[in-house]
Amino acid sequence: MQIINDHNLYLVISSEYLPGLKPPLDVAKLAIQGGIDILQMREKNIPRDEILLLGKGYLELCRENKVLFIVNDDPYLASQIDADGLHIGQEDFSAYTVKKLRSIMGGKIIGISTHSLEQFKKANDQDFDYISFGPIFPTKTKDYFIGFEEVENVLKIASKPVVFIGGINIDNINILLGKGAKNIALIRDIIQAEEITQRTKLFKQRIMNFCGKKMIIKINGENEGVEVKANLSELIMNKNLNPAGIVIEHNGSIIPKEKWADVFLNDNDNIEIVSFVSGG
């Protein structure tokens, strides 16, 4: 059974919000390169056979990159695709009991949207794996917003991870993080960005900064937070990796071992490390 941990960047992709003719799978790939941890497919206006095909494409992409894949609204579709989880809204909660959702989804992840402290309290006592809360700030998708005054109250009583959503952007995310938020969901401010990967990295970096980690690198395909004040040799030593079995790609170039001590980390670097167990 998979679980939702903290410090996640959660991206919701919906074709209706994509500018121009941007293929959704291309957008997802760019965001994954930037460091998202969870991807939700939210499609309400395209035929089911197209959603099924798109969902299978997302699933393959997410599995390759160790990103959790969530399907919105439809537990039967989520089960058919073999997604990692399901996200439901308040209207879905009235149509399905939690017991029914569990019978369809089994041990997969189930999350729910809440839009008030009262709704949050109710969901908090149910068998959900995470709860989203919002919209926190004004957003084009809703005609109301909650504001950030309830953030601390929600976090005080939360018995499971909370994902904050709604109108969050690079100018206001620190308000939420400063109040203790650990999981942030976005739509437009990533998928409508000119440079999706760089925009995503910026959001992920903000989240990791607030949990005491300074930058994100990939080690054997998984995101990890590391301190910036190090060179590549110190990084390998701090991670207890065997230097004999390491390949390091730094900003698109393979760095030879004799140069590791000369390359110091910067928070905008793109670093991927592959550690071979055999040491070869």
Both tokens assigned to 219: 């080690």
Count of residues in the chain = 280
| 42 counts as catalytic | yes
User: Active site residue: 15, 29, 108, 113, which one?
Assistant: 113
Q: Are 14 and 42 in contact (CB under 8 A)?
A: yes
User: Active site residue: 42, 56, 102, 239, which one?
Assistant: 42
Alpha-carbon distance 114 to 36, whole Å? Answer: 22
Give the HSE-up count for residue 272: Cα atoms under 13 Å, Cβ half-sphere: 13
Q: Is 223 helix (H, G, I), strand (E, B) or coil?
A: strand
Q: Residue-wise over 88-106: b if at least 16 C-beta within 10 A, else e?
A: bbeebbeebeeeebeeebe
Please list the alpha-helical segments (H only) found in the chain.
24-34, 48-65, 75-81, 90-95, 98-105, 117-124, 151-157, 173-178, 188-191, 196-210, 232-238
Beta strand pairing call for 246-250 and 271-275:
antiparallel
Q: Write out the catalytic residue numbers.
A: 42, 113, 142
